[in-house]
Amino acid sequence: MLDILSRFLDRSSLSPHGICLLWRPELVWTHVISDLVIGLAYFSIPIALGVFVTRRRDVAFGWIFWAFAIFILACGTTHFFSVWTLWVPDYAAEALVKALTAVVSIVTAALLWPLLPKALALPSPSELERANIELSKRVKERDDALEALRLANAERDRAEEMLRQTQKMEAIGSLTGGVAHDFNNLLGIVIGNLDRLERSVAGNASDSKSVQDALTGAERAASLVQKMLAFARRQPLRPIRIDVNRLIEDLAALIRGALSGTGTCSLELSTGLWPVRIDANQLENVLLNLAVNARDAMPNGGSVTIRTRNVMAVEAAAIEGLSRADHVVIVFEDTGTGMPPEVVARAFEPFFTTKNVGEGTGLGLSQVFGFVKQSDGHAALVSRLGTGTSVYLYLPRLLPAHAATEITADPVPHDGHVVFRPA
């Protein structure tokens, strides 16, 4: 075996390949340069394939790249041996390298052909692009569906919260109205008897003062009961046809007085305002109530603006809580401290107040809400902490078909107040 191997490797009887080229320099160096360039290129290709497969582990059939790298590396080695054998007749080593190259090439080809159908089944770049576009569309559809579901859930939660709030307000209103009605009857008896008692003790100053104090307290309680009835929408109303702009203009002096010098009051009244049918005295009380609230919200001074305008049915339909009909809106806006969202959510609730104990009954805004609702209107409140508060009073328009049969209102000054009497 060793003898065979030694004869195979023996090169003593062989001549270098350059002798076949008669050692002509132009031929020898053409072969040398060409084989060196080819060999170097062959050696660089496996390095590039190795770096590619190593960094792109997601490439399908990465092992076939390593087979190609070994095959190309062997091919490059044969070219280097071609240069070597030009001067050194080491044909045995060259033959072994070629044999190794043949084995590697056969193995690579054997692995490549069964892989061909699988490689052809891989999607092309255009197919991948189309698949990505389709996937993006489906993802967008899913995201849109999820967003629609989120909005629907949010809308449902909001509707449920509004329903709970409405039910709570209705329950509180029923309870408040029942208590106020019974209490009002009792107060009527108390006030009537106090009046009789006051007449009977008219000659006694001490007793007369005590009775007068008791009568004053009973009248304050009666006023509180009226506020409770207003929220419960059970107070007796005397609706008449009025011009809202005229009422506000005549009431402006009282509103400025209610501000107690802490703020200014400006009017922005829309021309051509529709008439409304409402209890004028109660609307006065509502506006004065809002002025007092604005004064308390502006301890460092500020301004109040009262605006009016017509709201057509199309616009009214887009306002939450408002029926699809023509309305007149009164906007009472102040530049006070404003309210946080949690307070805004409860502002119209009776007995809810942010003032200290003894500084308020918490019936001011609830009276406003109850009166406007009892008048078939709607009240809304917008406030931001540190910015101010705007109260919107939507009053239904008095349609021309009914205006001719309505009692009109004529404002007449009386003891410093504006009262309305039928014309």
Mean of the per-residue pLDDT values of the chain: 80
In which band, very low, low, confident or very high, does the pLDDT at 228 lie, cut at 50, 70 and 90? low
Instruction: Give the C-alpha separation, 98 to 238, whole Å.
Output: 117
In which band, very low, low, confident or very high, does the pLDDT at 184 lie, cut at 50, 70 and 90? low
Residue 357 CA, chain-centre distance (Å), reads 37
Percentage of the chain lying above the pLDDT 70 cut: 79
Instruction: Give the C-alpha separation, 27 to 266, whole Å.
Output: 108
**Structural domains of the chain sorted by starting position, each given as residue range(s) with its CATH number in brackets:** 2-122 (no CATH), 155-227 (no CATH), 237-422 (3.30.565.10)
278-311: per-residue pLDDT in tens? 888 889 888 988 998 888 888 888 999 999 999 9
156-173: per-residue pLDDT in tens? 887 787 677 666 666 666
pTM of the predicted model as reported, rounded to 2 decimal places: 0.48
CA 159 vs CA 57, 110, 182, 221, 366: distances in Å: 54, 71, 34, 37, 22
1-22: per-residue pLDDT in tens? 677 777 777 777 788 888 888 8
Q: What is the pLDDT of residue 327?
A: 94
Q: CA angle, 318 as apex, 313 and 324 as ends, to 5°?
A: 35
